[in-house]
Amino acid sequence: MTKRAVIVGAGIAGLSAALRLHRAGWEPIVVERSPGRRSGGYAVTFAGLGYDAAERMGVLPELQQRHISPDDMHYVRPDGTTRFTVPGETVRALLSRRALNLLRGDIEDVLHRAVRDHADIRFGTTVTSIEQNTHGVEATLSDGSTETADLLIGADGLHSHTRALVFGPERNHLLDLDHVVGVFMLDRRPDGLAEGATASLTSKGRTLAVISLGDDRAAAFFGFRTDDVARDLAAGPHTTLPRVFGDLGWFTPDMLDRLRTADSVYYDTLSQVVLDRWSSGRVVLLGDAAWCVTLFAGYGSSLAVGGADLLGTALEDQPDITTALARWEADLRPEVRRKQKLGRRVKGLYAPADPFRLWLRDLPLRTAALPPVSRLLKRRLQLAG
């Protein structure tokens, strides 16, 4: 009999799981809280496990078409003058050959196109309760219907409702990294920022980056260190970002102005998810819901796709579901542990409060910007190409 999976969340993890399980002969049902597909988001580096998995799942060519080739990275002072620039060819050389620079929304779009005819995707729907026994799992949905399945996958992100229903309250599983980020797409690239370029300013525990994403698209990226995450989240981006960044100078007034009319703003704490087990019986968590490594690790979308692919392989190889889940977790944990550790290390470098730490943070980039090093990297790129 065909096995069924209820997947909560149609983000990168949920859609990857739906695609991979369909390929494994399962029937996926995806419930997504949002009324429709989300787009845009922010740019992510997509590499490693995720890149390899995308290749196996047959979506790599479509992802490659969406790659945004990065160009010069400018590090500026509050008065707008340039501290140093890492040239585009060096930036590209630093990006591994098996890595892509993608909009989060583009990854979702590619996955959605690949799976939409093979999965029952229900937007504007969530799960309200979960019951399980040795034979199956029953999910009650927000439209009042119930679905019985062999497996329920909670791929509903950092603030997972599935995790709260099955593993207990969020506060027991979040490790706060004392930073808040606010990201939004700009309606047009700011004057003074060349196509493909990124410019960023770090001062006193705050970073503002303005990123050109090709085709006149661009994004603003605010991130800051805080000693009161709860207060800053509760106040929301439209109050908190002007309060924290108001005196920063450079592009800041323009970006804060555009924040007021931005379509949608990603605004959240940087927190890792730490759980002893990612599954309980026939319920398993996947992606940020299970292990959020944060943007400091730059690897969450790669882990979401790679984790979904490995999950599909484990379920194909092992008919007993709980055994398959245990094997999958044992295979994936070491990589997640490494990336969470990296995320915690990078935390201190992201927006250093004192100028000396900032100088130390930038030292490798300054070195990469030196003409001889830059030439060497450029040569490496040409040889690799």
Ligand X SMILES: Cc1cc2nc3c(=O)[nH]c(=O)nc-3n(C[C@H](O)[C@H](O)[C@H](O)COP(=O)(O)OP(=O)(O)OC[C@H]3O[C@@H](n4cnc5c(N)ncnc54)[C@H](O)[C@@H]3O)c2cc1C
**Shortest Cβ distance from residue 322 to ligand X (Å)?**
22
Residues 90-109 that bind ligand X (CB under 6 A): 104
Distance CA 127, CA 32 (A): 9
**Binding pattern to ligand X, positions 39-78, x when CB under 6 A?**
---x-xxx--------------------------------
**Shortest Cβ distance from residue 195 to ligand X (Å)?**
20
**Shortest Cβ distance from residue 369 to ligand X (Å)?**
21
**Residue from 4, 5, 11, 232 in contact with ligand X (CB under 6 A):** 11
- Laid out side by side, the sheet with 206-212 consists of 82-86, 73-76, 198-203, 206-212, 218-225, 174-186, 266-273
Residues 6+ apart with CB under 8 A from 148: 4, 136, 137, 138
**Shortest Cβ distance from residue 305 to ligand X (Å)?**
9
Q: What angle do CA 254, 261, 158 make, to 5 degrees?
A: 100
Residues 274-293 that bind ligand X (CB under 6 A): 287-289
Q: Are 267 and 168 in contact (CB under 8 A)?
A: no
Decide whether 180 or 369 has the Cβ nearer to ligand X.
Answer: 180
* Token pair of 136 as six digits: 């199956």
Q: What are phi and psi of 146, to 5 degrees?
A: -125, 150
Distance CA 168, CA 362 (A): 41
Q: Does 9 bind ligand X (CB under 6 A)?
A: yes
State the residue for tokens 């606010």: 182
Determine the distance from the C-alpha atom of residue 299 to the mean position of all C-alpha atoms in its chain, rounded to a whole number.
7
Decide whether 75 or 299 has the Cβ nearer to ligand X.
Answer: 299
Q: Does 32 bind ligand X (CB under 6 A)?
A: yes
- Total residues contacting ligand X by CB under 6 A comes to 35
Q: Does 358 bind ligand X (CB under 6 A)?
A: no
**Shortest Cβ distance from residue 289 to ligand X (Å)?**
6
Sign of the dihedral defined by the CA atoms of residues 48, 36, 170, 240, in that order: positive
Distance CA 195, CA 215 (A): 8
Distance CA 176, CA 237 (A): 18
**Shortest Cβ distance from residue 238 to ligand X (Å)?**
18
Distance CA 251, CA 151 (A): 49
**Shortest Cβ distance from residue 183 to ligand X (Å)?**
5
Q: Which segment (82-90, 152-160, 188-196, 230-238) binds ligand X by CB under 6 A?
A: 152-160
Distance CA 19, CA 308 (A): 9
**Binding pattern to ligand X, positions 155-174, x when CB under 6 A?**
xxxx--x-------------
**Residue from 7, 10, 121, 137 in contact with ligand X (CB under 6 A):** 10
**Residue from 177, 183, 185, 321 in contact with ligand X (CB under 6 A):** 183
Decide whether 122 or 378 has the Cβ nearer to ligand X.
Answer: 122
Q: Which segment (150-158, 238-246, 317-325, 376-384) binds ligand X by CB under 6 A?
A: 150-158
**Shortest Cβ distance from residue 141 to ligand X (Å)?**
9
Q: Are 320 and 366 in contact (CB under 8 A)?
A: no
Decide whether 121 or 256 has the Cβ nearer to ligand X.
Answer: 121
Helix, strand, coil % over all residues of the chain, rounded to 5: 40, 25, 30
Q: Does 299 bind ligand X (CB under 6 A)?
A: yes
**Binding pattern to ligand X, positions 210-229, x when CB under 6 A?**
--------------------
Distance CA 220, CA 119 (A): 34
Q: Which residue is nearest to ligand X (CB)?
A: 300
Residues that bind ligand X (CB under 6 A): 8-14, 31-34, 42, 44-46, 104, 126, 155-158, 161, 181, 183, 266, 287-289, 295, 298-302, 304
